[in-house]
């Protein structure tokens, strides 16, 4: 068949390939099998789930052709940004590149925090670096948590006072 109105024919073609069970929807498992990083590793489960949830308008845990088409555009935008920050074109983002990316995105984060993210999200190696899927994951979470923080930091001073339960509520509603 032909692509539905408003859906890129290439996205439609890829959707049909990725929809292995021919259900008319893409599951987290199907998405994970379809997406690869520059080192040919599959996208991380958490990142796939985060992205499916972002484009799943029915809260069914799957996306239709329209959600898939929007997801592909979303990934392409992140890939362009990733390539822009991958200065040495190694296919992954190193500590220095990550620091520079955060700075250029407007985040004032310490080298220690960037190191913490590398320790949490990079594959274990002498020179840890971040793949595309983890870069998307980190940036989506940073954006979401920054929005939550800004809701509490109405004076825009960079500090808030909140209860432990308020903190947990911010994290749980933004990250799960």
Query: What angle, 0 to 180 degrees and rounded to 10, lies between the N-to-C axes of helices 132-152 and 164-175?
Result: 140
DSSP label at residue 42? B
SS3 43: coil
Beta carbons within 8 Å of 150's beta carbon, 6+ residues apart: 156
Tell me the percentage of the chain whose pLDDT exceeds 90.
Answer: 67
pLDDT tens figures, 21-80: 999 999 999 999 999 998 888 999 999 998 998 899 888 999 999 999 999 999 999 999
Range(s) within the chain of domains with CATH label 1.10.238.10:
1-85, 91-175
Q: Of the ranges 2-11, 15-24, 139-148, which is most confident?
A: 15-24
- Over residues 13-18, the mean pLDDT reads 93
Query: pLDDT at position 126, please?
Result: 84
Name the β-bridge partners of 61: none
Task: Give ∠ CA 152-158-159 in degrees, rounded to 5.
Answer: 65
Q: Which pair of tokens denotes residue 130? A: 């971040």
Name the β-bridge partners of 63: 26
Rounded to whole angstroms, the Cα distance separating 22 from 40 reads: 25
What are the C-alpha distances in Å from 93 to residues 48, 78, 103, 110, 115? 19, 13, 14, 17, 12
Beta carbons within 8 Å of 87's beta carbon, 6+ residues apart: 97, 100
**Low-confidence winner among 5-19, 22-36, 128-142, 161-175 (lowest mean pLDDT):** 161-175
- Over residues 158-168, the mean pLDDT reads 91
SS3 20: coil
Instruction: Name the CATH architecture for the domain at 91-175.
Output: Orthogonal Bundle (1.10)
Rounded to whole angstroms, the Cα distance separating 52 from 122 reads: 22
Q: What is the CATH class of 1-85?
A: mainly alpha
- pLDDT-derived band at 124 (thresholds 50, 70, 90) equals confident
- Whether the per-residue pLDDT at 175 is higher than 70: the answer is no
* Phi, psi angle pair for 110, to nearest 5°: -70, 155
- pLDDT-derived band at 17 (thresholds 50, 70, 90) equals very high
Rounded to whole angstroms, the Cα distance separating 50 from 37 reads: 16
């Amino acid at each position: 068949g032909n692509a539905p109105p408003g859906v890129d024919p290439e996205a439609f073609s890829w959707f049909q390939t990725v929809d292995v069970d021919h259900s008319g929807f893409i599951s987290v498992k199907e998405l994970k099998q379809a997406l690869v990083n520059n080192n040919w590793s599959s996208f991380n489960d958490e990142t796939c789930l985060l992205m499916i949830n972002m484009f799943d308008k029915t809260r069914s845990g799957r996306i239709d052709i329209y959600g898939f088409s929007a997801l592909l555009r979303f990934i392409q935008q992140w890939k362009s940004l990733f390539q822009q920050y991958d200065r040495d074109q190694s296919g992954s983002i190193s500590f220095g590149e990550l620091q520079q990316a955060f700075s250029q995105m407007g985040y004032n984060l310490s080298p220690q925090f960037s190191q913490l993210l590398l320790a949490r999200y990079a594959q274990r190696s002498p020179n840890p670096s971040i793949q595309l899927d983890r870069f998307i994951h980190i940036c989506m979470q940073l954006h979401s948590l920054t929005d939550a923080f800004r809701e509490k930091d109405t004076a825009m001073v960079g500090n808030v006072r909140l209860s432990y339960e308020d903190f947990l509520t911010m994290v749980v509603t933004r990250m799960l």
